[in-house]
Structure 1
Amino acid sequence: MKQSTILKTFFKYVSLNILGMIGLSCCILTDTFFISKGVGANGLTSLNLALPIYSLITATAFMIGIGAATKYSILKAQNSHQEANAVFTHAILFGLVLGGLLFFIGTTNASSVSHLMGADKVTHSMTTSYLRTLFSFAPFYIINNILLAFVRNDNGPKLAMTGIILGNLANIILDYLFIFPCHLGMFGAALATGFSPIISILTISIHFIKKKNQFHLIRCQIHPSYIINICALGISSFVTEISSGIVIIVFNMVILSLEGNVGVAAFGIITNLALVVLAVFNGISQGTQPLISTNYGQKNYANVKKFFRYSILLSVSFSMLIYLLTYIGTTPLIAIFNSGQNKLLASLAANGIHLYFIAFFFIGINVVTTSFLSSVELPAPSFIISSLRGFAAIIPIVLLLAHCFGMTGVWLAYPCSELVTLFIACIFLLRNPILHSKMD
């Protein structure tokens, strides 16, 4: 591939995936906006208490979808089409099983899960309503993300992006209708969010209707080795996504002890904004994944290095731009979600944005690195980096800094843990033979 062709292909896949991932993250951001207007600060607190479960569902979907699609791309590049179809078949079946399990657990135990997430007498009813509805749509979330990953890897990045965007637009419209004219509150917000993956599935079904798909469901014997391989290649994506939920749980508990429900509401604003920014980095990593996996399967290591370098440079550029914009626009950003003009809420959120968002300078590199390592079939180091981001570093750091510095320590814990992770990630990259081969 010529240099100009490589760049064009890179920006095509990455730009479409960034737009798609931002659209996906905006489902919860839209809920945050409408709940802040229609339900108030307690609604924001309830939503933030429910967010870890949203992260669990999407993490499960990403693990299966990205893990299976990565293996599919490698097999397809090696002309092993029958085995590639077997991977897709196993992914769908595995997704349905886990989706059904989440549906059963959530619809029968939503109240207990709410208590587990830290809901009190004020927020329990709203949190339970949101969670029960969210769990009901778990199978659709998982199947949607599996299909999105495969369509993206099957030369359909534009259609995958369109599916996500249309699903998000439907969520915005339904959020307004359910919360305001219909007065359905938290239930309406969750219901609108639940319809989003259904709209997306209907959209990307065009790939099958027009018979553009090179992957198919086939009759095959179920082999645990396929499931293990899918999970191994997708585990870093699972941990990367679930880390958001783990961080939210730990931070919620610490902040509740320091500032109560208002503090959690402030953190809800910060974490929802952070999820949109994280979506940019996920878009870069997921957009690069099929390109790296395909070239790795073809043993074209020179292109693998180029795509990885481009993704790192783009991540760093976005990090600087996003931090600058959020720092300058702190006050208007908070005002969007602070309809009650709560001064304590505004003060906590402003301080949090300035400190918490320092992590953006490190997150992009960490996310891209974990995706790269999985894409070249190195799940172990990818899992280590993801685990550091998810719980191994963040939990002890936030507990220590919160004890020493209160809320300032809470906000600084996230960038500190990402910096520690970056140090470990650099060690793995320096030892990676593909990146340091002489094949340019």
Structure 2
Amino acid sequence: MKKLRLDFLKYTSLNVLAMVGVSLYILADTYFISKALGAIGLAALNFCIVIFTLIQGVGLMIGIGGAIDFSIGDSERSNLGNKSFVNALFIGSLFSVIFILLGVFFSTQISLFLGADELILSPTKTYLTTILGFSPFFILNNIGLAFVRNDKNPRLTMTAMIVSSFSNIILDYVFMFPLSMGIFGAAFATGLSPIISLCILTFHFRRNSIGFHLCKCRIEIKRLIRIITLGLPSFVTELASSITLFTFNIVILRIAGNVGVAAYSAIANVATIATALFTGLAQGIQPLAGNYFANSDKGGLRTILKYSLITSFFLSITIYFIILVFSDNIILIFNSENNEALARIAGVGLKIYFTGFIFAGINIVIISFLSAISNTVNAMVISILRSSIILIPTILFMSFFFKAYGIWASFMVAELLVTIFTYLTHIYRSRENIQLDTYTGG
């Protein structure tokens, strides 16, 4: 039990720190863009984050799916780490080509679809094209991080993510102010960050014993499908963020215009840090839960889930307390023009919106836990509920009746409904004991 507790603290703390570092990708862009370009730049960035989150989701899907496949094979002593790694790289290459082609030929159409009008079409298209051009590095970085983490080297992944994120902040400043590269500079700095991370991850291959490396392996259709299936819940979790952002943008644009979207940009970027905390917690438990599941250790799985839910609850309470106390200071960071409308909309939005993380944290942890123990179907159901089936109708319904207040409250209501569903279908049935046969369909 003591070893499990120490492992839990080690993996979750390192991953939480690392994910907070990753969230600085967008946070740094937001801050410097708000200083250089004001509300127009913030609105353009918020439209583009939808696609950035989608790219990250694809990378997480392939990386985590491949890493779970690698971990299960490693636990079974089947020495399939190389095959998992090579097949994951193959899938990543296919998606990278698709994203690059979208950036080259369809950036204008995508920008318009995301909600950009004539006023902000140009900066939206510039940022979008640049990010899509760097998509291979974002995807490869997520694959590398997942495999290195599951190869018992979480400290190196934390270092890679934090160093690359702080490099992004420095490059953001240099490109946007001394070099006056505008919104392209912000996108270019973000695109260089995963390259820096990948350079640091190469140190993993200098270890005496590693569980995977690049080699000549056969591409296996069954393994490709398995990797995607295992990683799909992680993708849908990111897709939930992307769809949430897109839906909020469109609804807010209709009710409050570009200033409203800029206000939501500030809220969404603070929410990125909060989401990163819970995602780090969820990714931290994934290798542990996978190993205990492979060894059929029900007691260990029960303890991991209990620790995770307790940690999630205290994280959410801490986050909301910070929001209540420092909301005005937080908004001021992103409101360089001292726009009163922006400050008013964001101030109310922050306090209402962040109540949702009490339930969102629980949902993110449950999805990761179910994925780690190969219960992909139930993890997928919860993810889809969060990303569309419950979320979108809730936003549309509440914004129609309660306008801006309804928009901010809809996130909390949707996550609460998903938590209730999760409790009724999983937690309540298992009450005091996690039954592995329930989660695996046996």
Counterpart selection for 2:59 from 55, 58, 61 = 61
What's the counterpart of residue 16 of structure 2?
18
What's the counterpart of residue 43 of structure 1?
41
> How does 1:65-84 map onto structure 2 within 5 Å?
65-81=63-79, 83-84=80-81
1:107 deviation in Å?
Answer: 2.2
SS of 1:317's partner is: helix
1:84 deviation in Å?
Answer: 3.1
1:435 deviation in Å?
Answer: 4.1
Report the residue type matching 2:148 in the other structure: V
> How does 1:29-178 map onto structure 2 within 5 Å?
29-81=27-79, 83-178=80-175
Report the residue type matching 1:74 in the other structure: I
What's the counterpart of residue 440 of structure 2?
none
Q: Partners of 2:205 and 2:169 in 1: how far apart?
A: 27
- Per-residue CA deviations over 1:145-189 (Å, capped at 9, x if unaligned) read 001001000110000000000110110000000000111111000
Q: Partners of 2:88 and 2:427 in 1: how far apart?
A: 30
Kindly indicate whether residue 291 of structure 2 is the aligned counterpart of residue 294 of structure 1: yes
Q: Contact between 2:82 and 2:217, CA under 8 Å: does it hold in 1?
A: no
Q: Partners of 1:221 and 1:209 in 2: how far apart?
A: 25
What's the counterpart of residue 377 of structure 2?
380
Deviates more, 1:412-421 or 1:428-437: 428-437
Report the residue type matching 2:353 in the other structure: Y
Kindly indicate whether residue 388 of structure 2 is the aligned counterpart of residue 394 of structure 1: no
Kindly indicate whether residue 304 of structure 2 is the aligned counterpart of residue 303 of structure 1: no
Q: Partners of 2:259 and 2:215 in 1: how far apart?
A: 52
Q: Structure 1 length normalisation: TM-score? A: 0.97
Kindly indicate whether residue 417 of structure 2 is the aligned counterpart of residue 420 of structure 1: yes
Kindly indicate whether residue 207 of structure 2 is the aligned counterpart of residue 205 of structure 1: no
- Per-residue CA deviations over 1:290-328 (Å, capped at 9, x if unaligned) read 011011111122111111111111000101111011111
Q: Partners of 1:61 and 1:128 in 2: how far apart?
A: 22
Same amino acid, percent of matched pairs: 40
- Per-residue CA deviations over 1:188-223 (Å, capped at 9, x if unaligned) read 000000000000000011001334421123333322
- Over 3 Å counting, the alpha-carbon distance change for 1:350 and 1:75 in structure 2 is same
What's the counterpart of residue 429 of structure 1?
427
Q: Partners of 2:209 and 2:335 in 1: how far apart?
A: 46
Counterpart selection for 1:245 from 242, 247, 255 = 242
Q: Contact between 1:429 and 1:435, CA under 8 Å: does it hold in 2?
A: no
- Per-residue CA deviations over 1:18-42 (Å, capped at 9, x if unaligned) read 0111111110011000000011110
Q: Partners of 1:176 and 1:249 in 2: how far apart?
A: 27
How many residues matched? 436
Q: Contact between 1:65 and 1:91, CA under 8 Å: does it hold in 2?
A: yes
> How does 1:244-393 map onto structure 2 within 5 Å?
244-393=241-390
Q: Partners of 2:193 and 2:13 in 1: how far apart?
A: 21
Alpha-carbon RMSD across the aligned residues, in angstroms, is 1.5
SS of 1:39's partner is: helix
1:434 deviation in Å?
Answer: 10
- Per-residue CA deviations over 1:269-304 (Å, capped at 9, x if unaligned) read 001100110000000000010011011111122111
What's the counterpart of residue 192 of structure 1?
189
